[in-house]
């Protein structure tokens, strides 16, 4: 088949990237909406803070359990079909969360909310493993860290938009309408993706020969749809694969602490109003978005200078212990606004490492990138499964500082574990 000779101003691969950026953005809006709405849900439905923690736990359990199956699912059916299916399921889960009080009563409402959050977690579990596989097919290896950093920036922008948007919608429409309408635009994104996207560059009718040359022929990273159980077991026994999952687990305790609990921390411990907390809570995720983008740029620059192994190691080895110090500064700050600034700086530093984690998973995963990324993110979300009940219990007993001290220990362990991760050796 002859390809167009001219290369469009916006390359096809960057158009595909924009969809993945959008899916990540919307995913974090959906994830974080429930934590912002919690301040109104608790008195309205007579739920305790521990029950809100259980709702978040239900999401994280579904999200963690479906990371590896979601990656395998993506390898089997292809990214185009996978994103369409999981996007529709996630929207259905958000609609069910909003409608639960209209359909159920008493304890049934809480159980329905748990089921909806579990479904949301299952639906979103495949997003980032499948995204990693798409990046591996559509971008040359030297750009993987950069695009992973940019996508993570999109996630944090979604998280930054959510508190003020949901808070404003709640004040005008109530929390149920807020949760529904904040998620509705994803239907347009899903429809456009299903129409335009393809699994590989060679399949896209608008792809030109010059752009195919720019992407390069890196067959080792092309997604293998024939993954077997035996090969999966061999992949999971690779040292760097299970160590990076452990490291990501530790890092994500800090991540979930900052992403899920800052809004309530500002209301309960620092005594800001709901609306003011909604705006102040945008600070940490905006800083995280900046950190994710910077992390992609820094890691992308470090790789040719220091090689694959140390190019990916340098940022997390420095950033994660520094994040622990910033958590300590936040809890010790006497001024509430200084505490917000320290939390924002900590979130920025933590997110510097995302490009290293995901770029390394892609490099060592090769044609099984979706499975390796899914396993790594399973570990990452076990950090949430471990962390959410700890933070819910401690915060419910007004021991916010203790929750932050636990995060300091996790941050240090996460950073030091990078000494055992070797991106020079792939599972292939």
pLDDT score, position 228: 66
Neighbour count for residue 227 (Cβ, 10 Å): 18
Quick check: is 244 in a domain? yes
Quick check: is 7 in a domain? no
Task: Give the integer Cα–Cα distance in Å for 145 and 316.
Answer: 13
Quick check: is 427 in a domain? no
Chain centroid to Cα 169, Å, comes to 24
Task: Give the integer Cα–Cα distance in Å for 91 and 117.
Answer: 11
Query: Rg for the chain (alpha carbons), in Å?
Result: 21
On whether the pTM is more than 0.85, the answer is: no
Looking at residue 59, the DSSP 8-state letter turns out to be H
Residue with tokens 């974080």: 32
CATH number of the structural domain spanning residue 369: 1.20.1250.20
Quick check: is 143 in a domain? yes
pLDDT score, position 297: 93
Q: Among candidates 89, 91, 88, 86, which has minimal Cα distance to 74?
A: 86
Structure tokens at 262: 């800052």
Quick check: is 220 in a domain? no
Task: Give the integer Cα–Cα distance in Å for 88 and 190.
Answer: 8
What is the sign of the dihedral through the CA atoms of 117, 122, 127 and 129?
Answer: positive
Residue with tokens 């990214």: 79
pLDDT score, position 279: 57
Task: Evaluate whether 422 touches 240 at the Cβ level (below 8 Å).
Answer: yes
Task: Evaluate whether 315 touches 256 at the Cβ level (below 8 Å).
Answer: no
Task: Give the integer Cα–Cα distance in Å for 131 and 21.
Answer: 9
Q: Among candidates 241, 242, 203, which has minimal Cα distance to 222?
A: 203
Please write the tens of the pLDDT for every residue from 313-334. Answer: 999 999 999 999 998 888 777 7
Quick check: is 87 in a domain? yes
Domain count for the chain, please give it. Answer: 1
Please write the tens of the pLDDT for every residue from 4-58. Answer: 555 556 789 999 999 999 998 888 888 878 878 887 888 888 888 778 878 888 8
* Below-70 pLDDT ranges, the chain: 1-9, 217-228, 260-282, 395, 426-428
What is the sign of the dihedral through the CA atoms of 186, 188, 189 and 195?
Answer: positive
The proportion of the chain whose per-residue pLDDT surpasses 70, expressed as a percent, equals 88
DSSP run (H or E) holding 426: none
pLDDT score, position 262: 66
Quick check: is 3 in a domain? no
Structural domain boundaries, residue 283: 12-213+227-420
Number of continuous H segments (helices) and E segments (strands) in the chain: 18, 0
pLDDT score, position 2: 45
Quick check: is 4 in a domain? no
């Amino acid at each position: 088949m002859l390809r167009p000779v001219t290369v469009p101003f916006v390359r096809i691969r960057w158009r595909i990237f924009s969809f993945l950026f959008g899916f990540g953005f919307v995913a974090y809006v959906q994830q974080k909406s429930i934590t912002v709405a919690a301040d109104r849900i608790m008195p309205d439905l007579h739920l305790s803070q521990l029950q809100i923690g259980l709702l978040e736990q239900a999401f994280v359990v579904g999200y963690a359990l479906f990371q590896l199956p979601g990656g395998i699912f993506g390898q089997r059916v292809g990214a185009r079909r996978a994103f369409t299916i999981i996007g529709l399921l996630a929207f259905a889960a958000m609609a069910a969360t909003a409608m639960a009080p209209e359909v159920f009563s008493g304890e049934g409402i809480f159980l329905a909310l748990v089921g909806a959050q579990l479904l949301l977690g299952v639906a979103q579990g495949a997003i980032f493993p499948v995204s990693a596989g798409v990046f591996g097919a559509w971008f040359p290896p030297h750009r993987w860290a950069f695009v992973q950093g940019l996508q993570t920036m999109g996630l944090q922008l979604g998280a930054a938009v959510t508190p003020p948007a949901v808070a404003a919608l709640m004040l005008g429409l109530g929390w149920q309408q807020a949760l529904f309408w904040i998620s509705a635009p994803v239907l347009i994104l899903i429809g456009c993706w299903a129409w335009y996207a393809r699994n590989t560059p060679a399949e896209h009718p608008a792809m030109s020969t010059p752009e195919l040359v720019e992407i390069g022929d890196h067959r080792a990273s092309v997604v293998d749809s024939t993954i077997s159980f035996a090969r999966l077991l061999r992949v999971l026994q690779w040292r760097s694969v299970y160590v990076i999952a452990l490291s990501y687990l530790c890092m994500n305790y800090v991540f979930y602490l900052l992403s899920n609990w800052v809004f309530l921390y500002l209301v309960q411990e620092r005594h800001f109003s709901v609306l003011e907390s909604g705006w102040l809570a945008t600070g940490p995720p905006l800083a995280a978005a900046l950190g994710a983008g910077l992390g992609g740029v820094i890691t992308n620059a470090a790789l040719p200078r220091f090689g694959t192994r140390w190019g990916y190691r340098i940022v997390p080895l420095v950033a994660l212990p520094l994040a622990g110090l910033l958590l300590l500064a936040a809890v010790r700050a006497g001024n509430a606004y200084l505490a917000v600034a320290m939390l924002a700086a900590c979130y920025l530093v933590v997110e510097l490492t995302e490009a290293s984690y995901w770029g390394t998973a892609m490099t060592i995963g090769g044609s099984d990138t979706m499975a390796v990324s899914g396993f790594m993110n399973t570990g990452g979300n076990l950090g949430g499964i471990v962390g959410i009940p700890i933070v819910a219990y401690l915060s419910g007993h007004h021991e916010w500082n203790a929750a932050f001290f636990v995060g300091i220990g996790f941050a240090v362990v996460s950073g030091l574990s990078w000494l055992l991760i070797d991106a020079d050796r792939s599972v292939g």
